[in-house]
Structure 1
Amino acid sequence: MRTFRKPWLIVAMITVMIFTTVACSAGSDDGVTTDGKMKVVWWHSMGGELKSAVDHLVKEFNESQSEVVVEAVYQGEYDESLNKLRASLGSNSGPTMVQVYEIGSRYMIDSNLITPIQTFVDKQNYDLSQLEENIIGYYTIDDQLNAMPFNTSNPILYYNKDQFKEAGLDPENPPTTFEEVAKAAEKLSDGKNKGASFALYGWFMEQFFANQGAELVNNGNGRDELATESLLGSEAGVQTLTWWKEMVDDGVALNLGRKTDDTKKAFTSGQVAMTLDSTASLRGIVDSVGDKFEVGTAFLPKPKEADEGGVIVGGASLYILNNRPETEQEAAWKFIEFLTAPEQQAYWHVNTGYFPITKTAYDEPAVKENLEKFPQFQTAVDQLHETTLNRATQGALMGVFPEARQITERAMEEVINGQKTPEKALEDAQKEITEKIEQYNSTVNR
């Protein structure tokens, strides 16, 4: 049995008390408002302009009917929100519905806190075929849809078409392989600017694995059985970091660290000609660039001889919690049905840049107009649709995913900064992640 020093225990108790206090202030006690409506409390992590879009959708829903009222409560970033959810357990202070990032999927299932969305789908004969298969595929585990996708994105290559022309490259024929990216970066680099800069972001490594048809953990990426081992040190990882490191060493790629905000700024200022970023960043990037140059977009690159693969959806989804009354859960489902309607999906996409999860949303006038204004987004749509759904592209499942991503980023830094070889850094990280997976699995009741 592990023992802990009393100061640590006191700090932990105070932390839980603080989280519980915050959770209580946001929760719903009896699920019914004073005017007899069923109250649904939704905890989410959409701040800034995204919060404005959330508030608009909630207002539209509340005004569209008289039986349910949704209260959307911002709970901070994903990690903070999940901590508050944990702190609310055992009380009546938690939400009816919570937004959780994709890498929290394994935890949410193992927590036994949720009523799978499949329950409501089956009960209402809801037609899942109207939704994007490659999006709901991530959240379909053990043949059931556990959460409803909400904000969904994937990574694409952004490039400066003007600099491509100046370097003698075809701006309408962007690089698609590791080898082509390296050659283009060399031609695009001069004494002042660099050909590329990619943030040392664990999500990108996960995507490079999937794009090579490689799984990140064993047991079918943790989908056939509970994952027991990380596969980070496999050929897909070594090949990716070897390519990345060589570009930095050759002086054609700029290392700006872990933050995508830094690489985004370098790209929009014209300091680098290529970068990786989320599809949800497209509007912001195009707006920031303005008329300085023309922004091009391309698929995520991969080795020229890579196996069949594609991209994994990122973002977050909506879970309905099973510790709330059944009528309250059904009210939350009613709100989710509203959110997945084409009109709402069109609004969400146009105002946030996230994918519509409903196929017919692309027929909405607002979406068509948005594609005319931002034709670069067609790349994201095509990349999503051309992705082959398999265990690699469905995405990995492990209960320690947030920690694993941090460990991966540390390994990436060790390689790019010349502290370890790709093989050694990834081997060490794989071992550490595997140990954490084993520790987590020992706590799960199955």
Structure 2
Amino acid sequence: MKPFKGKSWFVLVAVLLLFITTACNQAGKENAAGASAEQNKGNQAASETKPEGQTPVKVTWWHSMGGELGKAVDQLVSDFNASRGDIQVEAVYQGTYDESLNKMKASFDSKSGPTMIQVYEIGSRYMIDSKAITPMQTFIDKERFDLSQLEENILSYYTFDGQLYAMPFNTSNPIMYYNKDLFRAAGLDPENPPATYEEVTAAAKKLSKDGVTGASFALYGWFMEQFFANQGAEYVNNGNGRDSIANESLANTEAGVQTMAWLKDMLDQKAAINLGRKTDDTKKAFTAGQIAMTLDSTASLRGIVDAVGGKFEVGTAFLPKPAGAQEGGVVVGGASLYILNNRPAPEQQAAWEFVKFLAAPEQQAFWHTKTGYFPITKKAYEQPIVKENLAKFPQFQTAVDQLHATKTSKATQGAVMGVFPEARQIMERAMEEVMNNQKSPKDALDAAAGEITQKIEVYNKTVGK
């Protein structure tokens, strides 16, 4: 056969190059893990129209997800970067929520800060008052982004005066975990767990035998905040700080005193034991079969079930509340994403593109199944991996049902105050004082409410509220 010469040779080379380019593009589309087909098409088009040699916009994301959570974050970032030629995200672990927030404060007067940051829910008031952020609502309104696809009870926490300031990311709420095998042995119905304070006490007394204690709930301020919301009670004044800026703690109102007295009564009756502030300690006692009931985050479910293995059957139930309490529900915990306004507009817009990617059903399904946090997007529950996860961990349905059963109100939207981290510590100290017989529930909460109110007043003056 004669060799190709002249024009024939160039035609062959052109055809081969076209075939290789098309094949590579197709492989890239098929392998961009975590992105939908539509996203891949749009992202590829953006890459192809990008001027030759243009440097991608860099987005720096500060987060507080370590360990296995950090690995899931890195995978999401890798998936996004693989799907975009015009934007590249760098995720930087900054330690705990408090450490990350302090680093952000220190970066305000320099160029060293992030484009976006993950902040825990109790930092919401500070983030708004800092005037350092561009509200998510700005981007939402600009392109008419459909918020109805997201969970209303999650969005409500981060919505103030009709504006969504942050996009929820890792979201959880507390549920009660119980040992179904111990319930059966005590003559209790394992499919009908206690729902009220009174029922929990009665069950705990029956379960406390043979070296097992009926219950242990960590002395955690988050739990007290949740007990208030579950009774439809507000934690601070002025509509939980949502009608206007809060200036008084309501920690010593009936909801708080009744809850604290209930916890102390179980301890006095030896139906519960005090293992301190750390949920890790109550979690270890529960998975070892030493206590029959405990409270923990929904995000702990997989870890708890895995730690128990086949030793016993783990049950889950709604957070209890007093008999006859008003309608309420749980407040979402976890953290959300904020975009900083001291970064160039193209960088902020690029961060918004990444935020939308994280909120999409595919990414939310991946995040949920890898971490145990709630999907913030409703359609994530339609994803096959989420259905498989629910089949494997049916206990998680309790968390989903509890979220959806929550009636939106100022109480369940959650309290907001600029000194929330300090307020949580003050509440935990009050809980310790009661459990250690140093103060009565009313005296401890009166003192705590007074101290929190003073700190709120100082903060409000500082930010000019």
| TM-score, normalised by the number of residues in structure 1 | 0.92
Cross-structure match for 1:83: 102
Q: Deviations over 1:100-143 (max 9, x none)?
A: 00000000000000000000000011000000000010000111
Offset, 1:193: 1.1
Amino acid at match of 1:433: I
Q: Secondary structure at the match of 2:443?
A: helix
Structure 1 partner of 2:3:
none
Using the alignment, how far apart are the partners of 1:365 and 1:35 within structure 2?
38
* Alignment partner, residue 226 of structure 2: 207
Where does residue 323 of structure 2 map in the other structure?
Answer: 304
Partner SS for 1:442? helix
Instruction: For residue 191 of structure 1, report the CA deviation from its aligned partner.
Output: 4.5
CA distance in 2, matches of 1:107, 1:176: 35
Equivalents in 2 of 1:267, 1:250: separation in Å? 19
Letter in 1 for 2:384: P
Percent identity (aligned) = 73
- Where 1:274 maps in the other structure, the secondary structure is strand
1:125 matched to 2:144? yes
> Runs of at least 4 residues of structure 1 off by over 3 A?
none
Distance 1:376 1:303 in 2: 23
Match for residue 66 of structure 2 among 23, 39, 47: 47
Give the partner amino acid of 1:263. T
Give the aligned residue type for 2:421: P
Count of residues paired in the alignment: 413
Q: 1:35 offset after TM fit, Å? A: 5.6
SS in 2 for 1:190: coil
Mapped to 2, the partners of 1:386 and 1:148 lie a distance apart of: 22
What's the counterpart of residue 279 of structure 1? 298
Which residue of 1 is the match for residue 240 of structure 2?
Answer: 221
- The answer to whether 1:193 aligns with 2:227 is no
Letter in 2 for 1:425: A
Matched residue, 1:164? 183
* Residue segments in structure 2 that go unaligned for 5+ positions in a row: 1-52
Task: Give the Cα–Cα distance (whole angstroms) in 1 for the partners of residues 228 and 158 of structure 2.
Answer: 19
RMSD between aligned residues: 0.7
Cα drift, residue 445 of structure 1? 3.3
CA distance in 1, matches of 2:206, 2:398: 24
Give runs of aligned pairs for residues 88-99 of structure 1, distance below 5 A.
Answer: 88-99=107-118
Alpha-carbon distance between aligned partners in 1 of 2:72 and 2:143, rounded to the nearest angstrom: 27
Residues 267-299 of structure 1, C-alpha deviation per residue, up to 9 Å, x if partnerless?
000000000000000000000000000000000
Q: Which structure 2 residues correspond to residues 26-425 of structure 1 after superposition, within 5 A?
A: 36-425=55-444
**Secondary structure in 2 aligned to 1:427?**
helix
AA aligned opposite 2:436? N
Corresponding residue number in structure 2 for 1:27: none
SS of corresponding position for 2:214: coil
Supply the distance in 2 between the matched residues of 1:205 and 1:400 (Cα, whole angstroms).
16
Residue 9 (structure 2) aligns with: none
Q: Which residue of 2 aligns with 1:435?
A: 454
2: CA distance, partners of 1:113 / 1:51: 26
Alpha-carbon distance in 2 for matches of 1:220, 1:126: 29
Normalized against structure 2, the TM-score is what? Answer: 0.88
The residue identity in structure 2 corresponding to 1:271 is: Q
Q: Secondary structure at the match of 1:219?
A: helix
Letter in 2 for 1:430: A
Q: Deviations over 1:278-325 (max 9, x none)?
A: 000000000000000000000000001100100000000000000001
CA distance in 2, matches of 1:107, 1:77: 17
- Name the structure 1 match of 2:8: none
Deviations 1:39-70 (A, max 9, x none): 00000000000000000000000001111000
Distance 1:169 1:192 in 2: 18
| Cα distance in 2 between the residues matched to 1:169 and 1:410 | 34
Q: Can you give the 5+ residue segments of structure 1 that lack an aligned partner in the other structure?
A: 1-33
Mapped partners of 1:75, 1:389: distance in 2: 33
Amino acid at match of 1:253: A
State the one-letter code of the partner of 1:283: R
> How far is 1:190 from its partner?
1.0
Counterparts of 2:436 and 2:157, CA distance in 1: 33
Secondary structure of the 1:157 match is strand
Q: Can you list the C-alpha shifts for 1:234-260, whole angstroms capped at 9, x where unaligned?
A: 000000010000000100101000000
Q: In the aligned structure 1, how far is the partner of 2:94 from the partner of 2:161?
A: 30
The alignment partner of 1:227 has SS state of coil
Equivalent in the alignment of 2:463: 444
- The alignment partner of 1:344 has SS state of helix
